[in-house]
Amino acid sequence: MTAKTIVVGNFKGGVGKTKVSVMTSWEYATVHNKKVLLIDMDPQGNASTLIARSVGIDKIEKTIFDGFQDGNLENVVMKINDNLDLIPAAVSFKNFSKFLYKNFETDLEQITLLKTLIEPLKENYDYIFIDVPPTISDYSDNAMMASDYVLIILQAQELSLEGAETYVSYLQFMHDEYEADIQVLGVLPVLLRAGGRVDQTTVIRATELFGEDNVFSNVVKHLERLKAWDITGIRNDDHHDRKAHQTFLAVVEEMEDKLARFEEEENNV
């Protein structure tokens, strides 16, 4: 077993990256019975907070920055349940760039640290998901270099579409400059409101820009229950919860189809 590593990204904030990172990890682990590691590469630690709240963890002792400083991420892996593990982040991680520049001389050493440190972990998981801040930064560079695929989140608004375009351009730069071996798994629309004209127009434009095969047919619609989970943690108590889970289960199933096609193409090369 060698994990497929997927970074969830867009260079615009507030588009739903963290919620998608958390929920795809959650559904893969709890429903599909896959071994999953979620890596929080965002100093805000929102993914870590949501996961911890969902299982009643009140305090996070060690974070990803401790692992980077020790040169070993195995010691900072938190067990969430039988199938889901978390490498959490906290505000101290804001000093990541200073740490890299102080301890590593070359660009390549700096941007491949995550890739190096997760290599011993990959045999323990089916999937590794990485949540990153919406910036061109050492966080994103490390995540891109460590990943096999990127899932681009597209909130239905113009700036998000531009952020997705920039993300793809930057992936090409990382490939050309550093031989990053990463493929676009797809573009996942996150709608502001169901039936919104601007939302639909943006999805149509994304399909024209990225190609119909690259834009997910399933979308994450605006659901108030997802906001409630920020306060309560992830729940499955009533039909509103189940509806929210079903949204992400549909996304996960489409991800599986796309990943299977990628593997088939690679095997036929």
What pLDDT does 173 receive?
Answer: 94
C-alpha span between 165 and 156 (Å, rounded)? 13
C-alpha span between 131 and 189 (Å, rounded)? 17
Give pLDDT tens digits for 108-161.
999 999 999 999 999 999 999 999 998 889 999 999 999 999 999 887 666 777
Delineate the domains of the chain, giving CATH numbers in brackets: 4-268 (3.40.50.300)
Range with lowest mean pLDDT among 112-121, 191-200, 232-241: 191-200
Residue with the larger pLDDT of the pair 48 and 190: 48
What pLDDT does 198 receive?
Answer: 65
Average pLDDT over residues 96-110: 97
The chain-wide mean pLDDT, for the chain, equals: 91
Residue 46 has pLDDT above 90, yes or no: yes
Q: Kindly report the backbone phi and psi dihedral angles of residue 138, in degrees, each rounded to the nearest multiple of 5, phi listed first.
A: -65, -30
DSSP 184: E
Place of tokens 């681009």: 152
Strands (E), 4-140: 4-9, 36-40, 78-79, 84-87, 127-131
Determine contact, residues 160/12, Cβ cutoff 8 Å. Answer: yes
